[in-house]
């Protein structure tokens, strides 16, 4: 007896990652998996079917998932895929339920157990399964590379017979995984690095990476990794300090993204207007609308003296390494359920219970209805991760 695992080809525009790579196959097979891959799925990685000798390759999607006990993918699957899955099967992928209400209803109707990878809890035991973090690290690295290519100047200090140029000043706003990797990468490339986050405890992390830390004098630490709402007075104080650093920077990288929700605004149009000629902003939160007032998601725009890059699905730009990390994340998550050729979904496990979206015909972890508000709170500052996936669908 084996547990059949089917892996979909990603068809979302711009999605080049894959939920299975050769490096995780032997481990899954030892747990009792029999693997099936959709034909052509590995082409974006420059791999062929010969690179997956132990995997059965199937061209028809409906046939691929019909007998699958587990279906793996990156982006949310098409409705036709879910309709072809057998009741009780397990789906693991990014979902972003708020953006996929029809898909969620179908998962419930088909009695599919769905684990939304973006809901994985940020606890030590789950670190090896945390796809948001693994993909965010690659996004942070990529942001520096993209920004460096957009600049008309070099990042490090360079001394020549004709004189000395550089270094550039790089400001990173939001010191989650993506932001810290961006700081580390820019520092390695010789830039002067500055980090900012509303949580003062990130100061030590920035300093450990060779950066200075912007201290606004406001502690906005809240619950669950989110910042509390700022008063109008606090917002003005923060803006005044940040404006000085924003307008002195050659390259700014913003990373504050809330998976499945609009991105908070960190840079205003007025601040952009006062930036240096030739400065570049790389907005890693473009998928949620962006951290800058002037961001146009998916576009590179010129606003006065500044170029704003707003790439979408940045981890997919590094599809080979991103797939290796993502596939390993999923394999580790499957390790909680797959043992001795038997798949067991134990929802008493704190990891599985946190990221299960649907199970046995019911919606799990549904957000509670908010209580009526008597007044709108002040704008909330936020420091988060760049979302590794986007709320889109495999066609």
Active-site residues, by number, are 122, 127, 130, 133, 226
Return the half-sphere exposure (C-beta side, CA atoms, 13 A cut-off) of residue 270: 5
Q: What distances in angstroms separate CA 272 from CA 214, 231, 278, 284, one per listed residue?
A: 18, 23, 11, 17
The distance in angstroms from the start CA to the end CA of the chain is 32
DSSP string, 286-342: GGGT-SBTT--TT-EEEETTEEEE--SSGGGGGHHHHHHHHHHHHHHHHTTTEETTE
- Distance from C-alpha of 12 to C-alpha of 107, rounded to nearest angstrom: 20
- Phi-psi label, residue 46: left if phi above 0, alpha if psi -120 to 50, beta otherwise: left
How many CB atoms neighbour CB 109 within 10 A? 13
- Distance from C-alpha of 122 to C-alpha of 259, rounded to nearest angstrom: 14
166 three-state secondary structure: coil
How many CB atoms neighbour CB 30 within 10 A? 9
- Distance from C-alpha of 325 to C-alpha of 136, rounded to nearest angstrom: 11
């Amino acid at each position: 007896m084996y547990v059949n695992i089917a892996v979909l080809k990603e068809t979302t525009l711009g999605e080049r990652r894959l939920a299975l790579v050769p490096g995780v196959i032997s481990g899954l097979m030892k747990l009792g998996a029999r693997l099936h891959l959709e034909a052509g799925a590995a082409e974006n990685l420059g791999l062929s079917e010969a690179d997956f000798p132990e995997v059965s390759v199937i061209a028809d999607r409906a046939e691929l998932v019909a007998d699958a006990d587990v279906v793996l993918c990156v982006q949310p699957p098409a409705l036709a895929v879910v309709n072809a899955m057998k009741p009780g099967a397990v789906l693991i992928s990014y979902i972003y339920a708020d953006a996929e209400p029809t898909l969620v209803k179908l998962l419930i109707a088909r009695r599919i157990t769905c684990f939304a990878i973006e809901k994985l809890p940020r606890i030590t035991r789950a670190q090896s399964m945390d796809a948001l973090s693994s993909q965010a690290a690659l996004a942070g690295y990529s942001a520096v590379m993209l920004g460096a290519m957009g600049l008309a100047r070099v990042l490090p200090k360079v001394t020549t017979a004709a004189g000395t140029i550089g270094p550039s000043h790089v400001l990173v706003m939001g010191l989650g995984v993506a932001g810290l990797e961006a700081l580390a990468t820019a520092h390695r490339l010789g830039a002067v690095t500055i980090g900012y986050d509303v949580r003062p405890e990130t100061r030590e992390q920035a300093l450990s990476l060779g950066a200075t830390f912007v201290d606004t004098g406001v502690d906005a630490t809240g619950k669950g990794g989110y910042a509390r709402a700022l008063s109008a007075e606090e917002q003005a104080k923060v803006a005044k300090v940040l404006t000085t650093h924003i307008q002195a920077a050659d390259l700014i990288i913003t990373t504050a993204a809330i998976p499945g929700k609009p991105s908070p605004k960190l840079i205003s149009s007025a601040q952009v207007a006062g930036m240096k000629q030739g400065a570049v902003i790389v907005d890693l939160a473009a998928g949620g609308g962006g951290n800058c007032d002037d961001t146009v998601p998916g576009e590179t725009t010129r606003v006065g003296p500044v170029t704003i890059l707003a790439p979408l699905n940045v981890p997919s730009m590094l599809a080979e390494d991103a797939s290796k990390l993502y596939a390993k994340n999923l394999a580790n998550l499957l390790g909680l359920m797959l043992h001795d050729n038997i798949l067991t979904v134990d929802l008493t496990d704190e990891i599985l219970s946190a990221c299960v979206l649907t199970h046995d015909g019911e919606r799990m972890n549904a957000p509670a209805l908010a209580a009526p508000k008597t007044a709108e709170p002040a704008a909330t500052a936020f420091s988060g991760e760049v979302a590794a996936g986007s709320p889109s669908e495999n066609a």
